């Protein structure tokens, strides 16, 4: 009886151990999972941290949840205004008279703005700076009208651009992020107000600074002087000289409404690496910057961009690619540009190259022609680790031909095929 008692207790012990182990092993060990997704104790509704050059997600929390973005909406307005300037549809120095709609917004006591008055006119550049630096709703609405003729037309452009950029959890109802119901006679005829997920905000921010890097030249300005008697600090208090200053920050856009609470899409650059952080639904002005600081601290402390190979260097073990119908059967392959990799600090040597060459590479081949690609990636990496599926598919660096390969004559190809035929016969007999 005594032996049976101890045997029963021992079985219960091993069963408990097995249950604990099984709970920790649904997909990966608990220690690995904690390392992949740190507990930053963020007090937010949603958040995301992304490395800008690769689109690699370093941290995420409710990143696909559509939420009111408030004035972070203006990042899309900035994108479309800069696109219109690039395409020559409007000009930086073009003067824009104040419209009745912009004047209506300027009179709203709870709306950020530069107090535009009827009878005034301001240049596109003045209005853009007011939008980007002090989140001026009146200036934003006026720019939307200038680009598209009406805010309704501009909102259509915003939603179309969102689709083009791959923003799948967003909808725009106004150019400013102001709730539609607060616009009185100018309220858009829609049942759906503006929403945007943290992931989509990061996609938009990345596209803005990638396609129009000049946007950062405005977003990094700490203070705006709009009129002789009007000067105001940037709402982004992480810029130099402001209350939540953080080294390397040069953008990008804050937001606040009663429903959205305090939001921020921030970007900072250090040692050649740019991070984009989004926090939504924080409790105060200072809190959104404190939570962003946690994200930046984690990213800059744990990750870095390093040069794995320089331009015109071969990848060890993959020095050549096969060529069909060429005088030579192979062509030397080298990198077409510096190969930069994103790695956790201290793990730079753990990433092995994955090389893919074109399987239809046929002579003639010209020096510098793209013939393949190399990717240095962590094991088990997937689309879910990146902002967009395209970022995963297109990751890596191009490999190019290091020299020309001329097309072989038909006689050379004939003799080559005869020799190959004989070799195959001999191999078959021996085998």
Asked if residue 431 has pLDDT above 70, the reply is: no
**What is the pLDDT confidence band of residue 415, given thresholds at 50, 70 and 90?**
low
74 classed as catalytic? yes
- Average pLDDT of the residues in 323-328: 90
> What architecture is domain 46-304?
3-Layer(aba) Sandwich (3.40)
**Closest alpha carbon to 92 in 121, 140, 125:** 125
**Catalytic hit among 46, 71, 244, 373:** 71
pLDDT at 196: 98
pLDDT at 109: 67
- Average pLDDT of the residues in 204-213: 98
Fold agreement between 46-304 and 310-410: no
Output 108 or 338, whichever has higher pLDDT: 338
pLDDT at 233: 96
**Catalytic hit among 60, 74, 146, 304:** 74
Three-state DSSP class for 281?
strand
pLDDT at 52: 98
Query: Which CATH number is 310-410 given?
Result: 2.60.410.10
- What six digits make up the tokens of 78? 């900035």
* pLDDT cut 70: percent of the chain above it: 89
The C-alpha angle 182, 229, 124, rounded to 5 degrees, equals 60
Relative to beta strand 339-344, strand 353-357 is unpaired
Which of 181-195, 275-289, 370-384 is predicted most confidently?
275-289
Write the CB contacts of 50 (distance below 8 Å, at least 6 apart in sequence).
56, 57, 58, 202, 206, 275, 276, 277, 387
Relative to beta strand 330-335, strand 397-401 is antiparallel
135 classed as catalytic? yes
Do residues 291 and 42 lie in contact, with contact meaning Cβ atoms separated by under 8 Å? yes
* pLDDT cut 90: percent of the chain above it: 77
pLDDT at 309: 94
- Concatenating the DSSP letter of every residue in 352-415 gives PEEEEE-TT-BS-B-TT-EEEEEEE--TT--GGGBSSHHHHHT-SEEEEESS-BPBPPHHHHHH
Asked if residue 220 has pLDDT above 70, the reply is: yes
Do residues 140 and 158 lie in contact, with contact meaning Cβ atoms separated by under 8 Å? no
Do residues 194 and 69 lie in contact, with contact meaning Cβ atoms separated by under 8 Å? yes
- What six digits make up the tokens of 363? 């002579």
Asked if residue 395 has pLDDT above 70, the reply is: yes
**What is the pLDDT confidence band of residue 3, given thresholds at 50, 70 and 90?**
very low
pLDDT at 288: 98
**What is the pLDDT confidence band of residue 413, given thresholds at 50, 70 and 90?**
low
Helices (H), 212-279: 215-219
| Distant-in-sequence contacts of 405-413, Cβ < 8 A, 24+ apart | 405/323, 405/326, 405/327, 405/328, 405/331, 405/363, 405/364, 405/365, 406/326, 406/327, 406/363, 406/364, 407/325, 407/326, 407/327, 407/363, 407/364, 408/325, 408/326, 408/327, 408/363, 412/327, 413/325
- How would you list the strands of the sheet with 397-401, edge to edge? 320-322, 330-335, 397-401, 370-376, 353-357
Mean predicted lDDT score pLDDT of the chain: 89
53 classed as catalytic? no
Task: Return the residue matching tokens 């000009």.
Answer: 91
**What is the pLDDT confidence band of residue 25, given thresholds at 50, 70 and 90?**
very low
pLDDT at 23: 40
Instruction: Write the pLDDT tens digit of every residue in 51-76.
Output: 999 999 999 999 999 999 999 999 99
pLDDT at 83: 98
- Average pLDDT of the residues in 251-259: 96
How many other β-carbons are positioned within 10 Å of the β-carbon of residue 16? 10
pLDDT at 377: 83
Question: CA-CA distance, 180 to 188, in Å (whole number)?
Answer: 6
**Catalytic hit among 46, 99, 135, 170:** 135
Write the CB contacts of 301 (distance below 8 Å, at least 6 apart in sequence).
345
Where are the chain's structural domains? 46-304, 310-410
């Amino acid at each position: 009886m005594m032996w049976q008692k101890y045997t029963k207790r021992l079985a219960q012990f091993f069963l408990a151990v097995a249950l604990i182990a099984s709970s920790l092993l649904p997909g990966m060990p608990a220690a690995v999972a904690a390392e992949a997704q740190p507990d930053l104790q963020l007090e937010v509704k949603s958040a995301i941290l992304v490395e800008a050059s690769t689109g690699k997600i370093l941290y995420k929390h409710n990143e696909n949840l559509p939420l009111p973005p408030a004035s972070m909406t203006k990042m899309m307005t900035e994108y479309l205004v800069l696109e219109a300037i690039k395409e020559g549809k409007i000009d930086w120095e073009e003067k824009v008279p104040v419209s009745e709609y912009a004047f209506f917004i300027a009179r709203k006591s709870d709306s950020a703005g530069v107090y535009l008055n009827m009878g005034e006119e301001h240049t596109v550049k003045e209005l853009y700076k007011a939008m980007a630096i002090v989140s001026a709703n009146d200036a934003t609405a006026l720019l939307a009208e200038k680009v598209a003729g009406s805010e309704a037309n501009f909102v259509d452009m915003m939603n179309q651009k969102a689709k083009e950029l791959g923003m799948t959890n967003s909808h725009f109802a106004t150019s400013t992020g102001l709730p539609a119901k607060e616009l009185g006679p100018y309220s858009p005829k829609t049942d759906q107000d503006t929403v945007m997920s943290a992931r989509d905000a990061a996609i938009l921010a990345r596209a803005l600074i990638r396609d129009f890097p000049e946007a950062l030249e405005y977003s990094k300005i700490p203070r705006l002087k709009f009129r002789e008697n009007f000067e105001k600090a940037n709402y982004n208090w992480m810029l130099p000289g402001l209350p939540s200053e953080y080294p390397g920050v040069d953008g990008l856009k804050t937001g606040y409404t009663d429903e959205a609470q305090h939001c921020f899409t921030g970007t900072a650059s250090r040692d050649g690496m740019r991070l984009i952080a989004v926090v939504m639904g924080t409790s105060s002005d200072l809190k959104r910057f404190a939570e962003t600081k946690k994200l930046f601290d984690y990213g800059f402390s744990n990750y870095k961009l390093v040069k794995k190979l320089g331009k015109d260097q071969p990848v060890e073990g993959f020095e050549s690619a096969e060529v069909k119908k060429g005088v030579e059967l192979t062509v030397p392959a080298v990198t077409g540009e510096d190969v930069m990799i994103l790695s956790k600090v201290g793990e730079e040597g753990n990433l092995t190259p994955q090389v893919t060459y074109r399987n239809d590479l046929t002579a003639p081949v010209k020096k510098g022609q793209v013939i393949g690609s190399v990717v240095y990636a962590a094991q088990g990496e997937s689309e879910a680790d990146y902002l967009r599926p395209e970022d995963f598919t297109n990751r890596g660096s191009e490999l190019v031909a290091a020299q020309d390969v001329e097309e072989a004559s038909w006689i050379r190809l004939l003799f080559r095929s005869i020799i190959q035929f004989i070799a195959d016969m001999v191999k078959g007999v021996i085998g």
